[in-house]
Amino acid sequence: MTRAEYEHFLNTEDKRIEANVTFTQRPQHPSILASGSLKIDNPLRIDATLEIHYNPDADSKVFSIVVADVGPVCRLCVDNTPHRQLGRSHKHRLGTPECPKQNLRDHVEDRPDLAGRGVEELFQTFCELARIQHIGTFTAPVLPPAPVPPGA
């Protein structure tokens, strides 16, 4: 996917996610809650999904648009690890016409205006910015209670 194709996809109206958004623990990282791949229906028929990861310990949120056979083409990190000289809230974007696998990580824009927002509010903001309509419910992520040790 080139930068022009990405821009065309991003600016296309009538994108939608028709799914209920819920979160489950990631088996490889139980402290992280993930939405799984949420299919983004679009008139361009690009096979794209939205993935949301939430780390309650750090209160970090990561939203990634992933295109099949390409990888992530857009990523919004809020209250996450600082990226180089930028703060904990920033947006990764395609910066050149090259393949996103090569340049997504290098083109970062500071977004301190998004810091401190909750996952549901960020989801709504992300969908507005990306021109995605959500049809379904959103259930806020909650970590299950820690198991009680025997004899406690």
Tokens (6 digits) for 47: 């096979």
Tokens 């970090």: give the residue. Answer: 60
Q: pLDDT, tens digit, for every residue of 127-152?
A: 998 999 999 999 988 866 666 667 66
Label residue 82 by pLDDT band (50, 70, 90). low
Mean of per-residue pLDDT scores for the chain = 81
Q: What average pLDDT score do residues 15-35 get?
A: 91
Label residue 75 by pLDDT band (50, 70, 90). confident
Tokens (6 digits) for 101: 């696998």
Q: Going by DSSP bridges, is the β-strand pair 71-78/60-67 parallel, antiparallel, or unpaired?
A: antiparallel
pLDDT for residue 88 is more than 50: no
Instruction: Give residues with Cβ within 8 angstroms of 49, minimum separation 6.
Output: 37, 38, 39, 40, 65, 66, 68
Type of residue found at 103: N
Task: Tell me the three-class secondary structure of the chain, residue by residue.
Answer: CCHHHHHHHHHCCCEEEECCECCEEECCEEEEEECCCEEEECCCCCCEEEEEEEECCCCEEEEEEEECCCEEEEEEEECCCCCCCCCCCEEECCCCCCCHHHHHHHCEEECHHHCCCCHHHHHHHHHHHCCEEEECCECCCCCCCCCCCCCC
Distance CA 121, CA 60 (A): 13
Type of residue found at 86: L
Type of residue found at 99: C
- Selected residue with higher pLDDT from 97 and 4: 4
